Structure 1
Amino acid sequence: MRRLVMPISADRSPSDLPPDTSDTSGTPGTSDTSDGSAGSNPPPSDVATAAPAGAGWESADDPFVWLEQSETKRVSAWVHAQNARTLAAFAHGDAFETLVQRLVDDALSPDQLVIPTRRGDWAYDFWQDEAHPLGVWRRARWVDWLAGTAQWHALLDLDVLSEDEEVDWAWHGASVIEPAGDRALVHLSPGGGDAVVVREFDLATGDFVADGFHLETVGKHSVGWIDRDTIYLQWDPSEGDTNHPSVTRSGYPRKVRRWSRGTAPAEAPVVFACDASDLSASASYDIECGRHFAYRSVSMEDGITYRLDGDTWRAYDVPLHADVYTWKGWLMVAPRRDWDIGDTVHRGGALLAIREDAFHAGSRTFLALFTPDAKTALTGFQTGKTWAAISYSDDLVSRTRFWQPPELPTGLGSPTATPAVESELVLGSGALASGIDLGIGVARARDSAALDPDAHALREMPVVAGSETSTWFIDDLVDDAVFVLSNHYLEPPTLWRGDARADDLGALERIQQLRASFDAAEMTVIRAVAHAPDGTAIPYWVIGRRAVIESAHRTPAPCLLYGYGGFEIALEPSYATSQGMGWLEQGGVYVVANIRGGGEYGPSWHQAAMREKRPVAFDDFVSVARALIAEGFTTSAQLGIQGGSNGGLLVAACMVRHPELFGAVVCEVPVLDMQRYHRLLAGASWIDEYGDPDAPEDARFLSAYSPYHRVAAEVRYPAVLFTSAAGDDRVHPAHARKMAARMQAQGHADIWYYEETQGGHGATPDPRDGARSTALVYAFLWATIGKNGR
């Protein structure tokens, strides 16, 4: 995909989403009141009462704020005691250990699906098995992999490296220099958090490059090749201090440096920067067109894309909410909100194309490559050698449209100079000074390049029936070959290979299908609709045994409802590996709700639940829960809800608002304290999504639903399992810690907490640790909502 520079995705958790296979190269309710405090230093019981709705924050005092200090002995003792209590209650017995082993065997199976990344003549892959639980980065000849005769050569064994350096390294990907392909910039995370170290790796010798491009201090760094001896460096020397001048208040680098080989990072000149109140700044070099681009991420919604013109960064004259792509002399613009240009209104979620030279000359006559309606949503844009792929969702069915524009005169997109700005940039009123030109007010020249739709080839790829499919180009510098991955909740993933140039786009070569992880012979999937209080239809998927799902007279069963509802992230169907083993095989029903706040139906679906409208997502989720009960799938006592990250906020808020509706809650790596979330780790990056707790008008609606402030002693809540990870450097584990401590102090006995000692916001480096955490969740659920319906 030739998106110029990707903005920071501050809330994209692997635990929240189906696996991203576009770059695989690297890239329990038993009541226990014997120890309600579950710690050697129990939190005080004089908790503040919840603030009345609409009154703002009642007090800045927080009796559990000490749980934000992860490195203290007091916090360590509290976490240890909580973990011991939770594990003693649920992590035992033959069924638990059997599930753990099945999950481990599945994660480390020799029959895993291999989806390599192609770089020139080589196929790159990151592989984990019983001998390499932390993983090995490896490669094989591409032609051999295609022929099924790959001889994999280990490049970097993380288990060996971790033992040698006494650090549990997690793989965070590698960038191979093109076209030479003999060096790589490797990203490694200690423990699995977002912060990494960077090391240059010699692919010929299999060693790290002596005196190469190395960043050994852990930080939220990002690097990218310009040439063999020069890279763009987004450097984070803050060591987690969001007040450090080199990072934004969200904790991401705000300066881009041009780092030359043989020099220290601090000596590298700053060539681009953003304001400290922004999210981040980044830059990249596109080898295909020989051009430099930069991106100023103002917020999760807004940003400014720049191109290097001589020694000056010039902004693309598009709205802040629009994404920009360039390819072969064409400019593509994807606005998130409606964009008025004269008498024309381009809908938010559209994809528009124009010749780049015409755009810079003042033309605003676009060809609409994709225009959404109420049921369709743009989901991606990628480019191959001569064709581009427009991915979109059609009423929750994934589709791909291939586009080939007419060839343009040579000379467009020719190489430009490298940045010459060598001093720190001075920030002006909303724009960047010192050689930065926003380009606003460019002359509106006559339309010198009217677009002829007949000159553009557009082809629809056939849908793989009954499957969710993802399509991406394998190597856009080589050809137009594509990978297609198909799967669904009960369908193991299958990898196919096709070509955008083929006469028959449906003629796909089947490469490999993942073996089934669980027995789905008696199971089925249906799609249903609930209606929100405002009448909006909310789709949801129901997965379970046919005898339960399709019966005219259903017998209610234990049911687990999953949701997310934020940041324009769509919950697309994906193979239910752990759910199948831990829940469905035992007779449980699994449900996924496609509520507003997500991206299932495009930007408007997301915007319907942003900021003060966040309760819309809660109402949608509750509507699905009530529909499940009304349709006889389950009962309130048998209904559990699960969500992680923003989804953790979702399930906690729904629990607080409707405690009688649920029998159990699994709240994972959650955001819960809406008064202090923006002061913890990357939380400031979500103000655009949630609102600013320090602004009185925002505080009123945030305090009205903040789970940490709305939970009350006199209310009877369902059993709750809060989980987090000590290494989570995106959502602070204090959210879950403080919520568990407050509810326990209020006298709620069936409140459980477990904190993974390894891993960040997503998966743990070692699948064996993740397997025990996953099994713990299902043990909790069967002990609560499953005990009367199993």
Structure 2
Amino acid sequence: MRSASIALIGAAAIAISAPMTAAAQDIAAPEYPETYQQDLVEEIFGQQIADPYRWLEDDVRNNPEVANWVEAQNTVTDAYLEQLPARAWFAERIGELYNYERFSTPVEKGGRYFYTRNTGLQNQSPLYYREGLDGEQKLLLDPNAWADDGATALGGWVPSPDGTKLLYSVQDGGTDWRIIRVMDIDTGEQIGDEIRWAKFTGLSWVGEDGFLYSRFPEPEEGEDFQALNYNQALFYHKLGTPQSDDVQVYATPDEPEAGHSAGVTSDGRWAVIYSSKGTDSRYEIHLVDLDARDTRGWEVMPLVEGFDHAWGVIDSIGDKLWVSTNKDAPLYRVMTVDLSGDEPVWAEIVPEQEQTLAGASMIGDRLVLSYLQDASSVARVFTFEGNERAPIELAGLGTVGGFRGDPGKSETFYSFSSYNRPTTIYRMDMATGETSIFAAPDLQFDPDDFAVEQRFYNSKDGTRVPMFIVRRKDVAESGAAAPTLLYGYGGFDISLTPGFSPSRMAWVEAGGAYVVANIRGGGEYGKAWHDGGRLDNKQNVFDDFIAAGEFLIAEGITPQDGLAIQGGSNGGLLVGAVANQRPDLFAAGNAAVGVMDMLRFDRFTAGRYWVDDYGYPSKEDDFAVLRAYSPYHNIAANTAYPALLVTTADTDDRVVPGHSFKYTAALQAANLGPRPQLIRIETRAGHGSGKPTDKAIEEAADVLGFLAYWTKLSPE
């Protein structure tokens, strides 16, 4: 458990009456810590906007009063969670389900194969390599030795082209900041180079003696986890030199909101610089001809100007680049651009298809294109000229990933997973079509005991929306309604595709249903699906999710009082918004690391990027939309609410924890009935990535134990 060492600083009990089940009476309603309310009201576009908990936006490291509030809240929450009858069962079973061998897709460089491997319950996944495919496995990096609490993680990693050096990043305590280092693979020694203040960066070798990375200016002291991120620039670092000597390759000081990252094509010919201003897939692309660097230096030439469309360079052969884009193709197409003449010459290779293009690779003499068919993967093969060949047969309804490789080399690796199938890694020879298993886990369950079903339902405006339903086969075949965990996201062009989760499998094993709704705002059906759930269309996201819950109950999949909801980040916003709009529909909810104050989200760290999906609080029309659904500003006082467990972490510098702090304080002050509104605040953790396994298991057990209690799910 997290630290909870100080006494409560006051209490205010909730008093509104509402019917309670007999089971719910077993645990006493918590008494919340008293939270100070500022007399702070601002007039914004003619509206009086109260913000009594703004002081909770302060970094917990810098404000002792915020630190005391965190301690007091965790004390109350821990005491409540310890009483949950199913919590111990979930902790044990989730731990058992996590305990299987997990591999990443291998990367081959210089005849060496690099991959991560976790034996099961290791907090972080070590990095290994083999000399040749069948060579002896050798440990290269073990991040479990980097911190006593297991909270320092290996971020990105890239072997050098000849496989003799490793470029990698370190993530400490869940922060988005990265420390970049280099090691000699043969000796296992650090080369000594170290880069600070890198964030949202790629890692790309330029030859064997240097690399490209992106960084921000060093923030003011004490502002590491809250200051807005502006003026990102792309740098080149030569091995053996100090960071102060790094060469700035590309920056836009006149456009400080633009961010820049880079990749290098597999032949080492082109450095591809991507620039963007927000979260939308709208990029400018510049190139550096690395073959001409000795004579031209870091001469940057534009390829695509104007932040209008999505562009992604797949790879190159000589003067020709293969590119994916949604320009004149909302579901994406593949083009080539020939740079051998005075002007670029563009040509379409694979036209837009009926499915959304989700990934593209060049391997051997083939293009491998992965598409989304109703949010599930399809892998199709084309020649470099665009002629289709036989597709790659996948193992069913699921998600494919990987397909790393190079033109001229026919070997590739890919992964496949589904809700009832953990990731299996496959090796494929594109020349022969031969496929073999590189790594498959030994499981703690039989996948065939579980049913994965896709259904479609109609939203409020008649839009047809898909959902995945996962249940034990005996539960599905019985026709009985089961306590249901409904998950959603609905934003930023992000698609929710099938994948394995030990915690969600534990919920299903316990007799519950797990449902993922592919609501608008995501990328499942391309640009139109994304546009249909953002800016002034954001209410469609909430309507889609509410309609999913109503459908599950109407179809008898879920009992009337057995629906729990969950979402993280933008999905945490989703949970907060629909709990305000339809508190009667849900028994319980988990809003994780959510964006809860829609009037101030753009004032912290990466929040300014999100205006692409949310709009600008400083613009009157956008403000009106945001004010209408902002979770913090729309809590319906004196109304019976579902049981809510808000989860966040003290080092979340993506969605700063002040969002969750303020939202929880407002919930607890609003007299929302007998069901609790609690917050669980993790220490030495961030937005999610890099979280150690033991913390992930503990948090999942707490959350599922809470949701199970209020939906009356009892593990069998």
> Which TM bucket (shorter chain)?
0.7 to 0.9
Q: Tell me how far apart the structure 2 counterparts of residues 721 and 487 of structure 1 sit (CA, whole Å).
A: 29
* CA positional deviation for 1:290: 1.6
Q: Conserved in 2, the CA contact under 8 Å of 1:258 and 1:269?
A: yes
| Residue 371, structure 1, aligned to residue 352, structure 2 | yes
- Residue 32 of structure 2, aligned match among 27, 37, 47: 37
1:282-681 pair list within 5 angstroms: 282-286=261-265, 288-301=267-280, 302-308=282-288, 310=296, 312-317=299-304, 320-325=308-313, 326-328=315-317, 329-336=319-326, 339=327, 346-357=328-339, 361=343, 363-364=345-346, 366-373=347-354, 376-405=355-384, 456-476=386-406, 479-502=409-432, 505=433, 507-518=434-445, 522-551=449-478, 554-581=479-506, 583-681=507-605
1:638 deviates by 0.7
Within 2, Cα distance between the matches of 1:515 and 1:393? 28
Structure 2 SS opposite 1:75 = helix
Specify whether residues 511 and 199 from structure 1 end up closer, same or farther in structure 2 by C-alpha distance, changes over 3 A only. closer
Q: Quick one: structure 1 residues 100 and 273, their matched pair in 2 at CA, closer, same or farther if it must change by over 3 Å?
A: same
CA contact (8 A) 1:398 1:468 kept: yes
Pick one of 214, 219, 224 that aligns with 2:204.
224
Q: Cα distance 1:519–1:132, how it changes in 2: closer, same or farther (>3 A)?
A: closer
- After TM superposition, the structure 1 stretch with the greater mean CA deviation from structure 2, 650-659 or 168-177, is 168-177
Question: What's the offset of the Cα at 1:93?
Answer: 7.0
The 1:469/1:660 distance shift into structure 2, 3 A limit, reads closer
The one-letter code sitting in structure 2 at the alignment partner of 1:278 is E
In structure 2, runs of 5+ residues without a counterpart are 1-22, 290-295
Q: Does 1:255 align with 2:182?
A: no
Deviation at 1:752, TM superposition (A): 0.9
Distance between the aligned counterparts of 1:648 and 1:471, measured in 2?
A: 26
Give the direction of change, closer, same or farther, for the CA distance of 1:537–1:785 in structure 2 (3 Å limit): same
Residue 155, structure 1, aligned to residue 148, structure 2? no
2 CA distance for matches of 1:488 and 1:478?
31
| Alignment match, 1:9 | none
Q: Work out the CA distance in 1 between the residues paired with 2:623 and 2:362.
A: 43
- Taking a change above 3 Å as real, the CA distance of residues 529 and 131 of structure 1, as seen in their structure-2 partners, is closer
The answer on whether the counterparts of 1:527 and 1:542 sit within 8 Å (CA) in structure 2 is yes
The answer as to whether partners of 2:211 and 2:236 remain within 8 angstroms in 1 is yes
Task: Output the amino acid matched with 2:587.
Answer: G
Could you say which structure has the greater relative contact order, defined with CA pairs below 8 angstroms and 6 or more residues apart?
1
Q: Which amino acid aligns with 1:120?
A: G
Q: Give the share of equivalent positions with the same residue, in percent.
A: 28
2:652 and 2:634 map into 1 onto residues whose CA distance is: 25
Matches within 5 A, 1:113-262: 113=103, 115-129=105-119, 133-144=123-134, 151-162=136-147, 168-179=151-162, 181-209=163-191, 212-215=192-195, 223-239=203-219, 250-251=228-229, 254-262=232-240
Distance 1:485 1:634, change over 3 A: same
**In 2, Cα distance between the equivalents of 1:232 and 1:511?**
31
Partner Cα separation in structure 1 for residue 352 and residue 226 of structure 2: 35
Give the Cα separation in 2 of the matches to 1:381 and 1:372: 14
How far apart are residue 256 of structure 1 and its match?
A: 2.0
TM-score, normalised with respect to structure 2: 0.87
SS of corresponding position for 1:461: strand
Cα distance, 1:670–1:347 mapped onto 2, change above 3 Å: same
Q: Distance in 1 between matches of 2:401 and 2:572?
A: 30
Is structure 2 residue 669 aligned with structure 1 residue 742?
A: no
Residues 653-704 of structure 1 show CA distances to partners (whole Å, capped at 9, x for unaligned) of: 1111111111111111111110111112211011111101111111010101
The answer for the alignment partner of 1:270 in structure 2 is 248
Shift of 1:44: 2.5
Whether the 8 Å CA contact 1:608–1:616 is kept in 2: the answer is yes
Cα distance in 1 between the residues matched to 2:655 and 2:628: 21
Per the TM alignment, residue 460 of structure 1 is displaced from its structure 2 partner at its CA by 3.4
Deviation at 1:69, TM superposition (A): 2.5
Q: Deviation string for 1:59-115 (max 9, x for gaps)?
A: 264434334322122222221222222222223578533432343344354x43464
For the 8 Å contact 2:338–2:344, the answer to whether it is kept is no
1:229–1:525 CA distance, 2 compared to 1 (3 A): closer
Verify the 8 A CA contact 1:379 1:391 in the aligned structure 2.
yes
CA distance in 1, matches of 2:226, 2:174: 22
Q: Amino acid of the residue matched to residue 235 of structure 1?
A: R
| 8 Å Cα contact 2:38-2:52 kept in structure 1 | no
Change (3 A) 1:474 1:287: closer
- Which residues of structure 1 form unaligned runs of 5+? 1-27, 145-149, 340-345, 407-455
Equivalent residues of 2:380, 2:392 under 8 A apart: no
Q: Deviations over 1:518-571 (max 9, x none)?
A: 4555432222111012211111111113344344xx432211111111111111
Specify the alignment match of 1:112 in structure 2: 102
Tell me the amino acid that sits aligned with residue 388 of structure 1. L
Tell me the secondary structure at the aligned position of residue 162 of structure 1: coil
Answer yes or no: is the 8 Å Cα contact 2:202–2:263 preserved in 1.
Answer: no
Distance 1:539 1:736, change over 3 A: same
Q: TM-score, normalised by structure 1?
A: 0.79
Q: CA–CA distance in 2 between the matches of 1:47 and 1:578?
A: 41
Aligned residues: 679
Alignment match of 1:693 (pick from 617, 621, 637): 617
Q: CA RMSD in A?
A: 3.2
